[in-house]
Structure 1
Amino acid sequence: MSQGTRTQTKTVSTKSSSKLTKEEERLLLENSTEISSTASAVFYVNAFLVAAIPTWYFYRIQMMELTLYFPLFILISIANCWLLANAYRNWRFVLHHKIGGKIEHIVSKEIMRKLEAAGKSKSASRQEKEERISLKKNQVADSQATTFSIFYNNAFFFVIFFIFSCVFLRSNAPIVNYVASTAGAAFVVWILSTGAKVQNK
């Protein structure tokens, strides 16, 4: 076999092996940890707002001087924002699978009902029906997982923050209380979300 023939055969083999079927693409979509830029923006906006609330608390209630501690406020808020946004992402991944499994039967019935109403129930192939069901299931699961992940992590963050701030660190100086309670709460939320994601893989 000539060098040119071997190269051509290798190229065809590579192309055929790299081409994914629709079933494989659907499975990759369902198990992907990637999120859209819109979902990522939603996560970071929510995380920034949540991270800023303890800053307001220490500025207004604990009377920490804004001009004096401004760099510290910014630094801690950015770090907490990153930790919370990643916690949202991790829990979204976990919840997406759980929600997807629970709603699959309901989504299947809804898609079949819509196909019957449109008169396409018999004409649509099995693969087409499965693709529609999978797409709808992913959309619903993604939306619910994103919403619940934000709510769950925010609630968990504030509970831990107030326990740290008002119970364990209340006798400490405000600056120590601020750094330890806010960063500590965000870190706990993030590390637990990472553990949940690893267990779910």
Structure 2
Amino acid sequence: MQLYYAKGTIAIAAAIALQEAGLDHTTARLDFGNADQTGADYLRTNPKGRVPALVLNDGTVLTECGAILEFIASQSPRADLVPDDAIAAAHMRMVMYYLASTMHVAHAHKMRGSRWADAQSSFDDMKNKVPETMRACARYVENECLRGDYVLGDRFSIADCYLFIACGWLPGDGVDLAEFPKITAYLDRINARDSVKAVRAADML
């Protein structure tokens, strides 16, 4: 398998999951500064021009972070990255869908305004709103998503791969983590995992 990623993006959630699952893989780094994601070569792999993309050994291409995380978990049942309990699994997915539909979108308003508008004044307005919207996201994560040390309480899941990256954006988005002690402790806890140390050593974070 080959994971296409850009440094610091949500694609790193998939890189962490691959490490947690112990799956053999290679990586291909895209430079957003050079617009690699919109180049003809990459668009043949992922016409959306986004990361992550995971190319399987048979040539199948998977996109969308949540779908890739679910696939990775399915390939390594022993890693126990998705709970068997239906209610716990639903909470895990509720968090992941929230990140995809709300928190990631709020973050993207800072530098991807052209997805939603054309005028510079609109871009500026969206960017100025980011600290407020991301603080609201952080409050929701602090109060509703974390049910203990992790999203699922005392067990790590693919939702934590996802949430760790999203919460890592908060300081750069103008959110003071001192307001959110549970998130601060959570980030420290995930940073101490071998999977995160491995992706950091590979200069992916």
Q: Which has the higher helix share?
A: 1
TM-score of the pair, normalised by structure 2: 0.27
TM-score of the pair, normalised by structure 1: 0.27
In our comparison, the structure showing a higher alpha carbon Rg is 1
